[in-house]
Every structure is written in structure tokens, then in C-alpha cells.
A and B are shown apart, each in its own frame.
Chain A
Amino acid sequence: MSPYRGCFLALAAAVVLPAQDGATSENWPHYGGTYRSWRYSALDQVNGSNVKRLIPVWSFQTGDYEGGLQATPIVVDAVLYLSTSRGRVFAIDAATGAELWRYHYQLPRDFSSFYGPWNRGLAVGGGRVFLGTLDNYAVALDQKTGRELWRVNAEDARQCGCNITGAPLIVGDKVIVGVTGGDSAHRGYITAFHVATGRQVWRFWTIPGPGEPGHETWQGDSWKFGGGSSWMTGSYDPELKLVYWSVGNPAADFYGDARKGNNLYTDSVVALDEATGKLRWYHQQIPHDVWDFDTAYENVLLDLPVRGRPRKLLLNVNKGGITFVVDRTTGEFVSAWPIVKHLNWITGVTETGQLAGRNEPEIGKPKLLCPSIGGGRSWNHGAFSPRTGWFYTTALEWCQEVAAQKEEPVEGQVFFGGSFQMKHPPGEPAYSHLDAYEPVTGKRQWSYRSKYPLLASVLATAGDLVFTGDPEGNFFALDARSGGKLWSFQTGSGLRGSPIAYAVKGRQYIATPSGWGSALAGLSVQLWPEAEGFRPGSALFVFALPEESR
């Protein structure tokens, strides 16, 4: 960190800068970069003055392109670990692209799942590489050889209609795993397994059972099949010893009459004691969700002043296009702000964090609602730069005509309660944008516009660059302070994964998955018919400055 200190001190006179412990450097150790999920690298060898000279130095073809390449690579000590849609894992020399080992998870021959096939990444720690599988297993591999050490089933995928597509999170001697299933007749959970043995340490049910607080927020037996998936990856605060995880929508998605009540802890951020999995606090963003607007995405941990007082904060963008900021010690509401222009499912959020003016789907009667079920943003993640103090996130301006329908649950089967048709927003064609925001107030600093939906994660670096990509295959860098485009490279397939930065022997690399696919890639076709022709792929592209110019 020392090369950057001087620069921070110089700036400190003018701006209060946040702590740096959310930054990565040589390694990219966790899914979100660090436990704080900033997706920010302190490396500044590549910066605004030289980014135009970035060249591809190696690429890696996985051969597994169904569903695209949606992972975040992990880098530890010059080895890059990459997972693919159907459970292939590769260890790759991070400087040369040479394959060191590979592991191929064998799915049952007749396996089928409503979710996937895709995989968003791995966890690496304790000498092991951890993978979640489409048939709902957590798997531990030897970090040196790729040999399987253990596998454990979270729940039979055929019974629960759920699986694991998110990256696990390692906290101490535990590996914590979420599951999909928010659109199935299923009851969600978050599970911690022992890193060494695979034995279950704890399980947190995202829907409280009989006798537990919150159970009364479910009508009748609806709690048994109420969804509440945990399909993305959590964050962790080592000081507070709290694991933060987002819980998705209740099922049936659009039909809520059979689950009257607030439906805890769906659409909530939950803070769990890392040792026991016990709930310390929760913050529910959307009581009784009937829009499928998961609170499913990343939890960005920020230490920032609010009205002059330093606060430990948690920022979470939801699928409804609203960013919620809460105190991560207590769960107390701090602020909320929208990331999209076209938003009509509520009229706003009150000073105390309550939703105002709910506009709900109706049974059998199509209604135009914005944003669409695809989200004001998809799961692809935002980034925070401590140098600018801004949060960078993509956003989607698209709507849908939705009609609810009464539906009875059948265990493990799709439980949606309605259908929808994608629509352009009133008065203009659907589009997408990437914006920089002051994270507490939501004051927009700049905006970059894209014709097609931006569905790749954002990477911010100390070179004051912001990287992301588009469905046409362009991977590009923007000026973190102005949003101006500085560099772009055509990777040959659309971007749906998460770029990272790392360094080997003093050379900085920027790596991005390239490979179009996913549910929203399919959904996009309803608005942009030509998107059906966007080629799938599954490759990692790695860029650096030419050796001679460093």
C-alpha cells in the first residue's frame, strides 16, 4: 500500500477519505475482492495516462459456453482460479495463462434444473478451492492439485428445485454457501460447512419456522414454500464478526394473496453471527414483495460520515432499482435512492425507509410496471472507489407488462404466480447506463449510456479507472472521475461476468470473463430481437501494459 499513501495524505486535507481495507492488491482473494465487496483494486500501474496501451497478454478458453461465463476469477499468489457454468474448475498460471490443473464436476446424467446452468465463482482458502454445483453440492478441492477432498449435499435438488450458482464465502474455518430457489415452492437457507471436513456447522433458514420470531409474517403453510433464496455471495465484517447475506424474493413471485404478511426474511439483508449463524439483525427492504424484486445482490461495506458522524454502513442495490444504505452494526435505515429513471412500482421511499405508493400486479389483468423483472439492475456487481468516494453501478431502463395468477405450490416446482412480457419504457426505447454516485445521498456524478443492457460487473482501480463490458463483446475502461471512455477491446462475445485486477512480479493485469448467456440474455431478445444472434462464448481475456512500456 505504501506507494499510494502519499497521494492519500495529499487529498486528505480536502476530502474525508474512507479506510482502505476494502481494496485488493496483488491478489483478488474473495468473490467481491475483499470481505467488503468493493471490487476495487489499489493497483495503479494501469491508469488514465496509459490505459490506451493495454494489450491482451493471454486468453483462456474453457470449452463450456452454455449459459455464458459469469464467474469472478480468484487470484492467490500468481494462480488464477476460474469456474464455468457446468462446474469445471481451472487453476491457471496468472502470468502466462498455462493450465496448472482442471477439475470437472460430473452432474447426474439425467439432471435438469429450472435454474442455470451457470456458476458465478469460487472461494479459495485453507488450502482448498470451493465450488457450488447445479445439483446442490458444496465441493472442496485441493488447491495445489485440484483433487476432490469432499462434497456434501445441501438438499436434494430434485426435491427443493434449488441449486448453488453463487460463489461460496470463506469465514475462518467455515465455508458459507447460499442456494437459488426463490421462484420455486421451496424454503431458503444459508449453510456453513467446515472447511476441513465438509460437516455442516450451521444453517440459517431464511423463513422462520413455527415458534420463531417472524413466523407470524406468513399466512398458513405458505412459509414452507415461500422462496427466500440466498443466491448471491455475502460480505463479512471481521470486527463485528457478522456475515451479511441478502435474501431474495418470496414465492410465488407475483401472487401474494396466499402469503399475506410481511414475509420475513425475504427481501431483507440479514446479519448473522459467523460462529453460530444466529440472526443478529435484519433490514427488510420490501415487505410482502409481489414484483420479484430480490434483495439478492452484493452488500458493500463502507465506513463513511453521515451528517458529520462516522458510521459503519452497508450499501445494497436491489432488483427494484433502489439502493438502501443501513448501519451495519444495528441494521438501522440510513438512506435510500433510485438507480433508474423508469420506476413506477412505488412512488418513493419515506424518511424512515418505508415504501410509499405501492403499485402491485393484478390477477389476470396486465399492467405496465417498471423496472422489469430483469431488474433495475441485474446481479452483476457495482464497485466502490475510496479515491473518488463514489459507488459505480450499472442500471437498466426497461419495463414489463405483468399479470398475476393464482397458483398452488407443488414442492420443488416452479412457483411464479404470473407471467410477463418485456416492454420498452414509456416514451423511449429501453436502454442501460453506468453511473457514479455519492453512496449515502445517491447524488449522481456522471452517467455513461449504453444501447444494450449492461450485464457485467464493474471493476474500479486506483488508476482512477472503471472497467465493465457490454453484450456486443466490448470490454472497456472509463475515467472514474468523468465517465469518459478511454479504451475498449472487442472480446468476441458479450460480457456477463466480473472483471478483476491483480499483479504478478510487479506487472498489473486486468482480467475479464467473456461469454454471453444467462436468463437476462434470453429476456433481452423480447426487446432487442437482434440479441438472439449475440454469440455465446466462455473465455477469459487478460490485459496488461506492454512489457517495454512499464
Chain B
Amino acid sequence: MIWLALLMAQAAPDAAVVSRGARVFAESCAVGYCHGNAGAANRAPRLAGRSFDRDYLLRVTRDGLPNSGMPGWKERLGDTQIQAVVAYVMTLAANTVAAVPSAASGELPVPKAAVFTGPAEARRGKGLFFDATREVRCATCHHLEGWGVPVGPNLAAAPGASIAALRNPATASVQTARTGSGETFPALLVDRPGGGLRVYDLHSPPPVLRSFGAGEATLGAGSWKHAAVTAGYTDAELASVLAYLRWLGSR
């Protein structure tokens, strides 16, 4: 009868843990358009009255669910909190909507954002790299740590030797595209599907991925300067960005 004991142990989790989980749920999972109070359903699916595998819930809560609205919580919640909230969600299987707290306590702890472990200047650099208050920022064309648009090279792999090199690196891969209508623009070749041409148009940020059929555009020698798109950053700011890139590259 060991299996029964195990089952009962699972069916009756520590009340304090469940209560902690209920609070995490109210503050993080029931909010807004998500799962609703006590998992009553909303934009996110109903959790009340359904049975879940505990390991599945743990995995989805930690890592999120690709191709859905469910984010991973491992960077916002500690593992104890995740364990607790999963324990609570397991209790919703019996549809205990009326028995659980229906509102948050109003004292949401400050969320645990992704912890940045690098030096202060690198942290500043990261902020500048992704600075959403700038219409043109490094991340408009470069991708790092899961954010940004991967048009230009991976800067962490080759951070550049100096601020000057960051501001105005060699851009030999940028060519000049000429279209059938005589339009020319600086272009970064992506591929040549079916004899056509796909290029990033670097005329002005943000870059545009443009597709041309066979014979609609040609590529020739280019003379594009990166300096125009870094003009919004001071040397001191680029020094911080460089520190961030070097720190990333060294990890």
C-alpha cells in the first residue's frame, strides 16, 4: 500500500506551502487577462477543475510554453515560490474556487528580474545597448542574450578592439543594391532564393528585409559607413557598451 501512501501524500500537501502558493498565484498568475482568480479561466486557460501532472506544471511554470502566451517564471520567481504555486495549482483540480483567497494581498514583492552578474560598467552598457527610449539602438540591428534583431554580426563573438572600431567597423560585407527602377541602397545579402535576391536595406534604421525576383536587382561594391547609426551614442556610452560586449565575450 505504499502507492496509496504516496498518493495521499501528494493529495494533501503542506497547508502552509499551498497557502504561500495561493498568494503567489494571486499576485502573478491570476493578474490581468491571465488565468483568472483561482484559475477560473481568462485569456489563459482555466486551471480550476483540471488535473495536471506535477512535473509538467513545474516545467511549464519555470520555462514557459513556446508558441503560447505562457512566459517562463524562473527569472521572476524563486524555486520555492514556483514549487509552492504548483502545489497550489494541483489543489485546484477539485475546483475549490470558493475556498481560496480571491484577491491579492496588495503587497507584491519586487519581482526578481534577471540578475546581472557583470561589473557596473557592463551593466550600464547593456542598458545602452537595449535602450528602448532611443529609436535607434544597438539592438535595432544586433541580437544578444535573446533580445534584438539579428541583422548585423554577433558582437559578443568579436567585441571590437576600441570605441572607434565599434563606432565605425569595417563593413566590407555591405554592398550596393541597384534595382530595375534605378534605385540604389546599401545592402547586406541574406540569400539568393530561386535566382532572386534577399537583402537587408541599410538606408536608414530600422533595416528592411527586401526580396527581389530574378533579375529585379543586382549587387555591386558598397561604401556604407556604420558611423551614421552610432551617432546617437557618445564615446563614453560606447565605452560602456564595449565593456558589456567584452564581459559577454569572456563568459
Q: Which residues of A contact B (CB under 8 A)?
A: 107, 109-116, 147-156, 158-160, 183, 186-187, 197-200, 203, 209, 224, 253, 363-366, 373, 401, 403-408, 410-411, 413-414, 416-422, 519, 522-523, 525-526, 532
Task: Tell me whether A150 and B208 are in contact (CB under 8 A).
Answer: yes
Among the stretches B2-10, B145-153, B160-168, B241-249, the one at the interface with A is B145-153
Chain B residue contacts of A413, Cβ below 8 A = 71, 76, 111
Contacts A159-B148, A363-B106, A420-B37 known; list 5 others, CB within 8 Å: A159-B147, A405-B106, A418-B31, A419-B37, A522-B33
Closest 8 CB pairs between A and B? A364-B106, A416-B32, A198-B208, A403-B103, A519-B43, A363-B106, A405-B104, A419-B30
Task: Tell me whether A404 and B206 are in contact (CB under 8 A).
Answer: no
Chain B residue contacts of A519, Cβ below 8 A = 33, 42-43
Contact partner of B203 (CB less than 8 A), chosen from A199, A366, A407, A411, is A199
**Least CB distance, A132 to chain B, in whole angstroms:** 15
Tell whether B139 is near chain A: CB-to-CB under 8 Å. yes
Q: Which residues of B contact A (CB under 8 A)?
A: 26-27, 30-34, 36-37, 40-46, 64-71, 76, 102-108, 110-111, 113, 130, 132-133, 135, 139, 146-149, 183, 185, 201, 203-211, 213
Chain A residue contacts of B42, Cβ below 8 A = 519, 522-523, 526
Task: Tell me whether A197 and B203 are in contact (CB under 8 A).
Answer: yes
**Least CB distance, B191 to chain A, in whole angstroms:** 13
Task: Tell me whether B201 and A197 are in contact (CB under 8 A).
Answer: yes
Chain B residue contacts of A152, Cβ below 8 A = 206-209
On whether A403 and B208 interact (CB within 8 A), knowing A156-B139, A156-B147, A419-B32, the answer reads no
Task: Tell me whether A253 and B102 are in contact (CB under 8 A).
Answer: no
Q: Please measure, in the bound complex, the distance between the C-alpha atom of A401 and the C-alpha atom of B65, giving whole angstroms.
A: 29
- Interface of A, secondary structure class, is loop
- Interface of B, secondary structure class, is loop
Which single residue of chain B is at the shortest CB-CB distance from A417? Answer: B31
Chain A residue contacts of B139, Cβ below 8 A = 156, 159
Chain A residue contacts of B210, Cβ below 8 A = 149-150, 197-198
Chain B residue contacts of A112, Cβ below 8 A = 64-71
On whether A364 and B203 interact (CB within 8 A), knowing A109-B66, A156-B139, the answer reads no
Chain A residue contacts of B130, Cβ below 8 A = 159
**Least CB distance, B55 to chain A, in whole angstroms:** 20
A sample of 17 cross-chain residue pairs with beta-carbon separation below 8 angstroms, ordered by A number, consists of: A111-B66, A112-B67, A115-B69, A149-B210, A151-B208, A152-B207, A156-B139, A160-B132, A197-B201, A363-B106, A364-B107, A410-B113, A419-B36, A523-B41, A523-B43, A525-B46, A532-B41
On whether A526 and B41 interact (CB within 8 A), knowing A156-B148, A199-B203, the answer reads yes
On whether A405 and B108 interact (CB within 8 A), knowing A112-B68, A198-B201, the answer reads yes
